[in-house]
């Protein structure tokens, strides 16, 4: 075998896997987005941009977009802020820190379905643990998952709780990589805690913050499981995020064309957001050479 060919042959299985399970579905989705298909019909007639037009004219789409934007707008800063604060405390190499890190990371590796089922019970209005505790404290029952304003915040809380451990671990690694000499130098210059954080720590962990920002925004826009198990987009569409609407359109209402159009729009939206982040924040990210 030619030595020049060997590297390509070695990566070929992975490329084939990525092609089949990533790129083929993407291009198939783009193709289906301009067709009308209910998964049963042998034909898939071309309909141009009708599916997109129907989406833009649909109140359900704009509702989903708003709900998703609110979810991401609140959960992402909350996650990153909390993760950084906790990581600052847990970066010390002590037994208690290691135990707490493990405890924080557990939800990340726990089945999302299991988490959603348990929290459904916790936040049940009549028989849930949350309202039981409120009852003991003398408060009345709160309709956690039946109040359209509250339900989304419950999901934000659950998603933050589940993903926090991952962000904390990443931040701990970044904080531990900041050279101690810089803190010593700042101390000698009389730098106060917040000043040191703002001038030394935060700029040096910007690459990590940027990475977590990109990942957490993508994750926030793709939340599905906890919604499908706990609220199914309710009450009255208050938690109907884009991916849930996509699933309902394609697989419950059998409108694969419109569902695919929504998938393409979501893809374009995430690319646009990534470009915006790159322009706005990318310039402020300093990588150590």
Partner 1 sequence: MLRKLQLATAASLLALAVSAPAAQAATVVTFWHSFNNAGGEALDKIIADFEAANPDIDIQGEYVGNYNDIVAKLQAAIPANRGPDAVIMEVTRYGLFAEGGVLADLTPYFEADPLKDDLYDYARQIGVIGDKNYIVPFNSSTPVLYYNKDIFARAGITGEPVLKTFDDILAASKTITETLGAEGITGIAAPGQFSRWGLVMANGSDLVDAMSGEILLDAPRTIEAYQWMASLVHEHKVASADGVTEEDNGRDAFLAGKVGIMMNSTGNYVGSRKALGDKLGVLPMPCNPECSVPIGGAGIGLLASSPKDVLDAAYKFVSFAASPEANATWFAATGYLPINKKSAALPVAAEALASQPGIDVAINSLPYAHGRARTEVVTWMRTTEYDMWQAMALGTAEVEATMKKFAEDTRAEEARLGSQ
Tokens of 211: 């990475």
Q: Which is nearer to partner 1, 143 or 191 (CB)?
A: 143
228 touches partner 1 (CB under 8 A): no
The stretches of 57-147 forming alpha helices (DSSP H) are 59-90, 95-109, 112-122, 129-136
DSSP per-residue string spanning 189-224: TT--HHHHIIIIIHHHTHHHHHHHHHHHHHHHHT--
Q: Which is nearer to partner 1, 45 or 179 (CB)?
A: 45
- The piece of 19-27, 102-110, 208-216, 226-234 that touches partner 1 (CB under 8 A) is 226-234
> Encoding tokens for residue 22?
């990533």
What's the gap between Cα 184 and its chain centre? Answer: 37
Signed CA dihedral, 67, 69, 73, 79: sign only: positive
Closest contact distance (angstroms) between CB of 38 and partner 1 is 7
Which residue is listed with tokens 């941009």?
49
Q: Is 236 in the site for partner 1 (CB under 8 A)?
A: yes
Indicate the residue among 114 and 253 with the shorter CB distance to partner 1: 253
Whole-number minimum distance, CB 148 to partner 1, in Å? 6
Contact letters for partner 1, residues 16-45 (x by CB under 8 A):
--------------------x-xxxx---x
* Footprint of partner 1 (CB under 8 A): 36, 38-41, 45, 120, 124-127, 143, 145-148, 231-237, 240, 248, 251-254
């Amino acid at each position: 075998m030619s030595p020049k060919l060997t590297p390509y042959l070695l990566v070929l299985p992975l490329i084939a896997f990525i092609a089949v399970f990533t790129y083929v579905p993407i291009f198939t989705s783009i193709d289906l987005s301009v067709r009308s298909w209910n998964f049963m019909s042998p034909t898939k007639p071309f309909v141009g941009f009708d599916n997109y037009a129907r989406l833009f004219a649909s109140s359900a789409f704009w509702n989903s977009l708003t709900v998703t934007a609110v979810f991401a707008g609140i959960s992402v800063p909350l996650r990153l802020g909390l993760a950084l604060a906790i990581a600052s405390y847990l970066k010390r190499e002590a037994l208690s820190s290691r135990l707490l890190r493990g405890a924080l990371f557990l939800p990340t590796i726990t089945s999302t379905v299991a988490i959603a089922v348990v929290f459904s019970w916790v936040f049940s209005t009549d028989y849930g643990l949350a309202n039981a505790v409120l009852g003991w404290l003398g408060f009345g029952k709160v309709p956690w998952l039946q109040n359209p304003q509250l339900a989304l915040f419950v999901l934000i809380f659950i998603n933050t709780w589940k993903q926090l451990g991952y962000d904390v671990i990443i931040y701990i690694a970044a904080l531990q990589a900041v050279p101690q000499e810089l803190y010593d130098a700042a101390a000698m210059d009389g730098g106060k805690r917040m000043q040191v954080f703002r001038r030394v720590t935060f700029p040096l962990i910007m690459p990590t913050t940027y990475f977590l920002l990109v990942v957490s925004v993508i994750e926030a826009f793709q939340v599905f499981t906890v919604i499908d198990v706990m609220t199914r987009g309710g009450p009255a569409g208050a938690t109907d995020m884009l991916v849930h609407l996509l699933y309902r359109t394609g697989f419950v209402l059998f409108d694969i064309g419109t569902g695919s159009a929504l998938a393409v729009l979501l893809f374009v939206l995430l690319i646009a957001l990534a470009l915006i982040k790159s322009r706005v924040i990318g310039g402020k990210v300093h990588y150590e050479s």
